[in-house]
Structure 1
Amino acid sequence: MLKARQAGTVVRALGAMSGTSLDGVDAAVIETDGKEIFGFGPSVYRAYSQEEQAVLTAGLGHWNGAPAKAAAHIVETAHRDALRGFESVELVGFHGQTLAHEPHGRGTCQVGDGQALAEALGVPVVWDFRSADVALGGEGAPLAPFFHFACAKWMGATEPVAFLNLGGVGNLTWVDPSKTSPEEEGALLAFDTGPANAPLNDLLRQRRGVAFDKDGLIAAQGRVATGALELFLAEAYFGRIPPKSLDRNDFSEMIELVRELGDEDAAATLTAMCAASVAQGLGHCPVAPERILVTGGGRHNPVLMQMLTVSLECPVEPVEAVGLDGDMLEAQAFAYLAVRVARGMATSCPSTTGVQACVGGGTVSQPEDAS
């Protein structure tokens, strides 16, 4: 029997994440019983090449057909590369790559075959984490909040704290660590704040052929176009009560708002839009968090971090300030969620995705030769 299904045992689980920034695959090991975090293990990063990124970008918005199949092939190849070589792994959490996300429309689409990955690795693989949540009326995202709750406990927090992930899309998890479990009423509030790195990355690929604004150097030379920023903040999304989620391209018109600006001013304005959307989102929290811990690629952008510091009324720090790894936190989250799925535990609840009741998503695929 899979050890993850034996109550009370600690599992060495490997998680993988390929996010909306389309930069590559993060893979990381944690040791957990599905409730507490007992340790963090090794990690690797497998970057996508420019050619692979082009295929993935072409697949965005497709639910099936040739573009989706081509993207799936890239995702599966990259994950096999990234996940081989880890020792003593008992379970894998495989998120796949989101190509389309319409939780109250067509559903959600993460490409990548978990059964094929289980065969390649010889280890049980948990995948398709979002579909069950969407089927019960949830947004299907964000899914990391239950792990964020465990992280708050692990770091010894006693007051409410917020985790802010700045990948392609921004998402915020407000945690009250005085609660005993993530499912408890008032323990969590989670939602997508708005676009984060995706619009800026897309703009710079188009204009300069670079993947992102390294160290914020382009934005640092520009000025924010306040008119474009005001139009952005007038979007109805920001007034919606969470939980709520976004597809990567839901705010693609942001690029149109800065189309007439030079590179530097456009980068500064798109960066300011990300920070402003976080400030708007923080107003939805029950009480102000004691601190905001930033994870994801956006924390490496000093211009964005400074804009957040200025616009938010609480300390803003990278998650490394509390001993966590901001590059691997989402991969670790899916390792943690995999254990919860294997044990029949919830992975989302009404306050994280708007789902009707606590639900445990995910499919467990066993390699054929598993006993």
Structure 2
Amino acid sequence: MSGTSMDGIDIAHLRSDGETIAERGPFLFAPYSPDFRKKLAASLDTAKSIEERSQRPGDLADIEKELTDLHANAVARFMNEYDLKADDIDLIGFHGQTVLHRPGAGMTVQLGDGQALASKTGVPVIYDMRAADMIAGGEGAPLAPAYHGALARGLGGEWPVAFVNIGGISNITCVAKDSGLVAFDTGPGNTLIDQWVEMKAGIPFDQGGAIASEGGVLRDLLDHYLKAEFFHAEKRRSLDRNDFLPPDPSAASLEDGARSLARLTAEAIFTSAAHLPEQPKQWIICGGGRQNIVIMNDLEELAEKTSASVFRAEDLGLNGDSMEAEAWAFLAIRSRKGLPLSWPETTGCREPVSGGILAEP
């Protein structure tokens, strides 16, 4: 899995029948080099000219080849580190790197050559798992809810349970006791904070929320974002990385901007959660944002208003770093078996939809 933060590749090992989870195995993160991260960031502008999914204008074809090679190298490193051989693995679920996501136009583009990855690794690959959902009228995201539902069935505590992934964009899955799923994107996650501190200080992210902890919340800046139609429209939609842009550099000090954007991440989650049919009693936070102590403190404060509890994934024996990659493995199994990857309640598709393309080595 390579997500909207564009910082590297998450690899997780999972054993499952596509319904329940038999074993969660090891995890590895393979970071992108600073040069490749810059290429990916620049590719977002190039991708804006794509009119058909197969098009690779400018240098996108070269970037796609490099990205696929990086994934193949990461898989080889993972297999070597955990003493695995190609024959030990049934499937690889390959997300690729999203460079364009326009659900209103039924368009989503992920860089990554699934057939090349299968050939290089010697393992069958399931890839392009979003497109079928969009053909069926869905937003193409989020797709992790199928996995969240399976995880929730193995947890105790109060219902409903909400899984919140705070990556570049945040999304929520609410799981009811009867296993009903409702899911949608909630707003900016780490993207605006990352862009802000890189713009102001030349560093890629706010480690642990250290910069935000030195600042104060600028309510006008925060409310500017929360007034966006996205938060108040009845129809939930998925977000592209560029749907929300960072403030002007002159709008705040480094610290106040980071603090305000951290608060935005938290308030966006709870503002969007107002669209849920029932408010969660347990909030399980995964993704990189759970490492930001300022965001976590804000989430705990907001959850107290509904007498709900907030947990990091690790508090419940889960791995908040590997969960998205585990989800992609789980979805690959479901795809291979023709099981649904999405439902009307999770992406807005017209009916439950499977998806994905199988590439044999």
Report the counterpart of residue 335 of structure 1 in structure 2.
329
Q: Does the aligned pair in 2 maintain the 1:55–1:67 contact within 8 Å?
A: no
Report the counterpart of residue 30 of structure 1 in structure 2.
14
Report the counterpart of residue 246 of structure 1 in structure 2.
239
Instruction: Quote how far apart the aligned CAs of 1:69 are.
Output: 2.3
Matched residues in 1 for 2:122 and 2:62: separation? 24
Q: Does the aligned pair in 1 maintain the 2:143–2:341 contact within 8 Å?
A: yes
Report the counterpart of residue 64 of structure 2 in structure 1.
72
> Does residue 48 of the first structure (1) align with residue 39 of the second (2)?
no
> Does residue 355 of the first structure (1) align with residue 346 of the second (2)?
no
Q: Does the aligned pair in 2 maintain the 1:58–1:67 contact within 8 Å?
A: no
Report the counterpart of residue 93 of structure 1 in structure 2.
93
Matched residues in 2 for 1:283 and 1:305: separation? 19
Q: What is the count of residue pairs matched by the alignment?
A: 342
Instruction: Quote how far apart the aligned CAs of 1:353 are.
Output: 0.3
1:293 to 258, 265, 284: 284
> Does residue 266 of the first structure (1) align with residue 257 of the second (2)?
yes
Report the counterpart of residue 317 of structure 2 in structure 1.
323
Distance 1:150 1:127, change over 3 A: same
> Mapping of 1:1-371 within 5 angstroms?
17-61=1-45, 62=47, 63=50, 64-84=56-76, 85-86=78-79, 87=84, 88-105=88-105, 107-156=107-156, 159-179=159-179, 187-252=180-245, 254-256=246-248, 259-312=250-303, 313=306, 314-367=308-361
Matched residues in 1 for 2:69 and 2:231: separation? 37
Instruction: Quote how far apart the aligned CAs of 1:173 are.
Output: 0.4
Q: Which residue identity does 2:116 align to in structure 1?
A: A
Matched residues in 2 for 1:158 and 1:195: separation? 27
SS of alignment partner, residue 104 of structure 2: coil
Matched residues in 2 for 1:83 and 1:160: separation? 36
**Which runs of no fewer than 5 residues in structure 1 stay unpaired?**
1-16, 180-186
Q: Does the aligned pair in 2 maintain the 1:204–1:212 contact within 8 Å?
A: yes
Range 340-349 or range 69-78, more displaced: 69-78
Q: Which residue identity does 1:31 align to in structure 2?
A: R
Distance 1:48 1:142, change over 3 A: same
Report the counterpart of residue 53 of structure 2 in structure 1.
none
Range 208-217 or range 291-300, more displaced: 208-217
SS of alignment partner, residue 248 of structure 1: coil
Matched residues in 2 for 1:70 and 1:299: separation? 34
- Structure 1 consecutive aligned stretches of length 4 or more whose deviation exceeds 6 Å: none
Instruction: Quote how far apart the aligned CAs of 1:127 are.
Output: 0.2
Quote the sequence identity (%): 39
SS of alignment partner, residue 42 of structure 1: strand
Q: Does the aligned pair in 2 maintain the 1:191–1:242 contact within 8 Å?
A: no
Matched residues in 1 for 2:73 and 2:250: separation? 38
Q: Which residue identity does 1:307 align to in structure 2?
A: D
Instruction: Quote how far apart the aligned CAs of 1:106 are.
Output: 5.3
TM-score by length of 2: 0.92
Instruction: Quote how far apart the aligned CAs of 1:70 are.
Output: 3.7
Instruction: Quote how far apart the aligned CAs of 1:158 are.
Output: 6.0
Q: Which residue identity does 1:154 align to in structure 2?
A: G
Q: CA RMSD in A?
A: 1.3
Q: Which residue identity does 2:226 align to in structure 1?
A: L
Q: Deviations over 1:348-369 (max 9, x none)?
A: 01000000110001001111xx
**Which runs of no fewer than 5 residues in structure 2 stay unpaired?**
51-55
Q: Which residue identity does 1:189 align to in structure 2?
A: V
Instruction: Quote how far apart the aligned CAs of 1:139 are.
Output: 0.1
Instruction: Quote how far apart the aligned CAs of 1:241 are.
Output: 2.4
TM-score by length of 1: 0.89
Q: Deviations over 1:157-183 (max 9, x none)?
A: 56210000000000000001323xxxx
Q: Which residue identity does 2:154 align to in structure 1?
A: W
Q: Does the aligned pair in 1 maintain the 2:159–2:282 contact within 8 Å?
A: no
Q: Deviations over 1:196-248 (max 9, x none)?
A: 10111112122212110001111111111101111111100001225421001
